[in-house]
Chain A
Amino acid sequence: MHSQAMFFQARAGAQVRNAGLQKTLQRVRPLFVAKRVKGVAGLVEDGIDVEALRNACAAIRRRVVDDLDVWLEIFEERAKASGAEVLWARDGDEVARLVVDLAQRHGVTKAVKSKSMLSEEARLNEALSAAGIRPVETDLGEYIVQLAGETPSHIIAPAVHKTIGEVEALFAEAHERPVQERTSADIPMMAAEARAVLRQHFLSAEMGISGANFLIAESGSAALVTNEGNGRMVTTLPKLHVVITGIEKIVPTLEDFATLMRLLPRSATGQGISNYVSLLTGTRGAEETEGPEKTVFILVDNGRAALAGSDFADMLRCIRCGACMNHCPVYFSLGGHAYGWVYPGPMGSVLTPLYTGIENALDLPHASTGCNQCGSVCPVNIPLPALMHRLREIQSERGLRPWRERLTLRAWGWLALRPALYRWLTRRAARYLRWLADDSGRISMFGLVPGWTVGRDLTPPPGQTFHELYAARKRA
């Protein structure tokens, strides 16, 4: 996916003014929050110390990230021993080349896909289509987004920005039938319609492409956590199964996987466990009746290795649950597309600059109020605001901020270090602000900070500063 992150400011404005999108987002936001609350409450009822569990999950992931190369070698060895092939990709383009090459060597004309954000990083659908291979997204949300020619706006709810009417229009066109009036009661029927169409694709595709929520080092398996069942079709029906995943997705043991699974679904959807949890190891055995004849793992770097040992190593712990965006006031004011690349929300505000270039996503680390609602729900304790802050510092160190902003900050800082001068100026500022007030007694237009008055008035100060009044009292 080509990054549009440099246009965050403009895209954000457009999304805020999109009334339909706003309505959808405001309806969904409380649901996401309530689901996690319920999920975590379930743990508490079971007598589990949630903080201790978060720490345990973080520790498992930290252990992997600290010795990533070692765990990757173990995984590669075990995966190969189970009959799978393991390939490595440096970046998204290499992923696309490897997959297209595999498809061509195996005479693939159609590939069914289970949700994979990494395939978005690699712009895989584009590459497959260009090579004459038809990619079919089979996750219901991804299917909708693909029909619309869009990209996912949420990592676990890709079509969360779509209304039922929009989905109906897309289905009617794709399934060649007239548009009908739909309400939420029709959702099961619409899902069944998509299922019938997708079933034919599962049966006819020669290649299945999936991601993996985790790679289990001890068994060389891919773990897949899904709710719709499409993941099982994708990974078992076609003769060739390709797993595309980031190198950081490793967990050492099945026991570790079980620990992480206590928090992953609860953090994402509030479920105690997702509808399907699959552990995929090797290929179809001689006496087995299902599974692919060939399994290929493509382990992708695309910027990840460089984070190991850096100030941003914490980010490699991420298990992609989406809780950070589900609790982000900024995400729920914009939806995911404003962020301009694969990952939205706080996760994206850290990953996009790191994976596509700090200079190519200058707004994102600043697109946060610093509220830390994300960090406080992260199941692996990633300090997201601190990572965004570090990115701000790097921008500042490299002189990447606009000159006007740098000048303002320097001038303000110079004054703040000189109390006498600062007092003199703030006294004048207080009077100036008082003078700006209109008939209502408030400031409704303020040219120096138009960003404030675009949506808010400013209550002016009484005209004298605290220190001025305090000094006068002391004298009295």
Chain B
Amino acid sequence: MRLALYVTCLVDLMRPAVGFAALRLLEEAGCEVVVPPGQTCCGQPAWSAGNRDLARNLAKKAIVELEPFDYVVIPSGSCADHLRNVYPQLLADEPAWATRAATVVARSYELSHFLNEILKLEDVPGAFAGSATYHDSCKGLRGLGIKSQPRALLAQVRGLTLAEMQDCEECCGFGGAFAVRFGEVSTAIVDRKCEAIAATGADAVVGGDLGCLLNIEGRLRRRGDLSTQVLHLAEVLAGPEST
């Protein structure tokens, strides 16, 4: 199968390692992975800001890039939710585009969803000596029902023990532009998340969305916690790069 890896704008700019980890996982599972070269952003920031026209244009751009593939895999619940749940309504009043959107959307998956339910991965390459706690990001959880998949995959990571935190389904306070627009409120929210993480004593907090992870990591470090690792699920599952 030939699949497109949609790395997301945040991974592209802020943490390329997540993209490469996803790439390794998919390639080692036997997929032919293409990174469509023109990809920029799925358009969620425009949508969230209320700019429907721009969100629609970026959706069309992504659809054109992604429609030649059997599958589209996205290492972000938030971006995958945007494709799957927002694209259809954005393009609902343009029948030709709506059809194309429906085709792409039906093939688009959040990474853990794809690895667990489509590839049915039973042995991930990653190893992690220690305990980790998993933060359920809101859009993946409540928009796509991503809950069991990352846990099923983490259970395959050698050496890793999962220590669930209190209120793991509570929002971390990121919310895209929200984090910057209402910085103090966002900080107050992520503070509660940091306390829940600290209470587990876990060596690492793992999540499926880089936005949430940057938020959590930023607050942990500011609070003086320099040791808790903050990792994307793909990084944990793929393990360190061998080269």
Contacts and interface: CB of A to CB of B under 8 A. Distances in A.
B219 A461 contact: no
A368 B48 CA distance: 10
Nearest to B17: A462
A422 B13 CA distance: 11
Given A391-B50, A413-B51, 18 more contacts: A367-B182, A369-B178, A370-B176, A389-B48, A396-B49, A413-B54, A417-B57, A422-B40, A426-B9, A440-B221, A451-B179, A455-B183, A456-B215, A461-B13, A464-B16, A466-B7, A466-B12, A469-B20
B162 interface: no
B61 A396 contact: no
Interface stretch (A97-105, A149-157, A328-336): A328-336
Most central of A373, A450, A456 by chain B CB within 10 Å: A456
Nearest to A427: B13
Interface in A371-401: 371-373, 375-376, 389, 391-397, 401
A153 to B, nearest CB: 16
Nearest to B184: A16
A366 B181 contact: yes
Tell me the interface secondary structure of chain A in the complex. Answer: helix
Contact of B218 (A371, A376, A457): A457
A454 B41 CA distance: 26
A284 interface: no
Contacts of A471: 37
A333 B183 contact: no
Interface stretch (B92-100, B138-146, B148-156, B200-208): B138-146
A412 B51 CA distance: 12
Contact of A12 (B7, B19, B182, B221): B182
A455 B191 CA distance: 9
B89 to A, nearest CB: 9
B16 A395 contact: no
A416 B51 CA distance: 14
B183 A461 contact: no
A319 to B, nearest CB: 21
Interface in B52-108: 52, 54, 57-58, 61
B177 interface: yes
Contacts of B199: none
A24 interface: no
Nearest to A421: B40
A330 B189 contact: yes
Interface stretch (B110-118, B119-127, B166-174, B232-240): B166-174
A108 to B, nearest CB: 44
Nearest to A338: B185
Most central of A366, A376, A413, A442 by chain B CB within 10 Å: A413
Nearest to A25: B188
A471 B221 CA distance: 32
Q: Which 10 A-B pairs have the closest CB atoms?
A: A455-B187, A369-B175, A456-B218, A451-B183, A392-B50, A396-B50, A371-B171, A466-B16, A451-B180, A371-B138
A185 interface: no
A444 B217 CA distance: 12
Contacts of B35: 467, 470
Nearest to A413: B54
Interface of B: 7, 9, 11-17, 19-20, 35, 37-41, 43, 45-52, 54, 57-58, 61, 138-139, 142-143, 169-171, 173-192, 214-215, 217-219, 221-222
A225 B139 CA distance: 35
Contacts of A393: 50-52
B13 A469 contact: no
Given A16-B188, A22-B188, A466-B19, A461 B48 contact: no
A392 B49 contact: yes
11 contacts: A12-B182, A367-B182, A372-B138, A394-B50, A409-B46, A416-B58, A457-B218, A461-B14, A464-B16, A470-B16, A470-B35
Given A376-B142, A413-B58, A367 B185 contact: yes
Contacts of A461: 13-16
A470 B214 CA distance: 22
A368 B175 contact: yes
Given A370-B139, A451-B183, A419 B48 contact: no
Interface of A: 9, 12-13, 16-17, 22, 26, 329-330, 333-334, 366-373, 375-376, 389, 391-397, 401, 405, 409-410, 412-413, 415-417, 419, 422, 426, 429-430, 433, 440, 442, 444, 449-459, 461-462, 464-467, 469-471
A455 B49 contact: no
Contact of A409 (B11, B49, B57): B49
B138 A369 contact: yes
Given A413-B46, A419-B37, A442 B187 contact: no
Nearest to B89: A386
Contacts of A466: 7, 11-13, 16, 19-20
A467 B6 CA distance: 11
B64 to A, nearest CB: 12
B13 A454 contact: no
A160 B11 CA distance: 41
A206 B163 CA distance: 61
A426 B13 contact: yes
A340 to B, nearest CB: 14
Contacts of A368: 175, 178
Given A369-B189, A461-B15, A392 B48 contact: yes
Given A442-B221, A451-B180, A456-B215, A370 B13 contact: no
Nearest to B216: A456
Nearest to B39: A419
Most central of A369, A389, A413, A419 by chain B CB within 10 Å: A369
B48 A334 contact: no
Nearest to B36: A419
Given A394-B50, A409-B45, A452-B180, A459 B218 contact: yes
